[in-house]
Amino acid sequence: MSLPKTTHMRRRFLLALPLLALAACGFEPVYGPGGAGTALQNRVLVDAPEDRFGYFLVREVESRLGRAATPRWGLALTTTTVEDGLAIDSEGNTRRYNLVGTTAYALRDLDSGQIVTSGKVESFTGYSATGTTVATRAAELDAQERLMTILADLVISRLYAADLPQ
């Protein structure tokens, strides 16, 4: 069965409408010309980490943005973590932990020293303490790395969404 020509035109119009709205709102691909991804890629010098958490966070940020040969931006990261016991058995032993992390970030223009964007991100991850001491420690270290990966992703997303000067 063939639909009338006006039905096809209406359907095409309705399918194109979201694309027109997206173009009208100023949508710009992150890695397109003039996008934040292009402005940041291989141009951000991340401040040196001060501890184990900072090392993992900087490693993840640099793996996404690249290492700057000729940096334009400087990125300061400050991370705090808190560990909470979640599951306690009848003997009073904690069997599950929640690791909550907060990272404050500030992106600055290295030429002027002015902070262009800043903010704070927060997330959490958990791990089990039901195995041996070695297994519990391995789970804890893995949770720390996972948390820093999550926080790095959140920071990068915020940087990409920022209105950076070209």
**Residue with the larger pLDDT of the pair 147 and 36:** 147
Evaluate if residue 34 carries a pLDDT over 70: no
Evaluate if residue 78 carries a pLDDT over 90: yes
Question: Which of 38, 42, 108 has the alpha carbon at shortest distance from 73?
Answer: 108
What integer pLDDT is reported at residue 32 of this predicted model? 55
Cα angle for residues 124, 129, 133 (degrees, 5° grid): 125
Confidence class of residue 85 from pLDDT cuts 50, 70 and 90? confident
Cα 154 from Cα 145, distance rounded (Å): 14
pLDDT tens-digit profile of 46-76?
A: 999 999 999 999 999 999 999 988 999 999 9
Q: Supply the pTM of this predicted model.
A: 0.77
User: How many other C-beta atoms are found inside a 10 Å radius of the C-beta of residue 14?
Assistant: 9
**Residue with the larger pLDDT of the pair 58 and 166:** 58
Evaluate if residue 20 carries a pLDDT over 60: no
Q: Quote the mean pLDDT of the chain.
A: 84
Q: Would you give the DSSP letter of residue 163?
A: -
What integer pLDDT is reported at residue 7 of this predicted model? 65
What integer pLDDT is reported at residue 83 of this predicted model? 93
Cα 25 from Cα 27, distance rounded (Å): 6
Confidence class of residue 18 from pLDDT cuts 50, 70 and 90? low
Structure tokens at 93: 């032993």
Confidence class of residue 33 from pLDDT cuts 50, 70 and 90? low
Question: Which of 66, 158, 69, 61 has the alpha carbon at shortest distance from 116?
Answer: 158
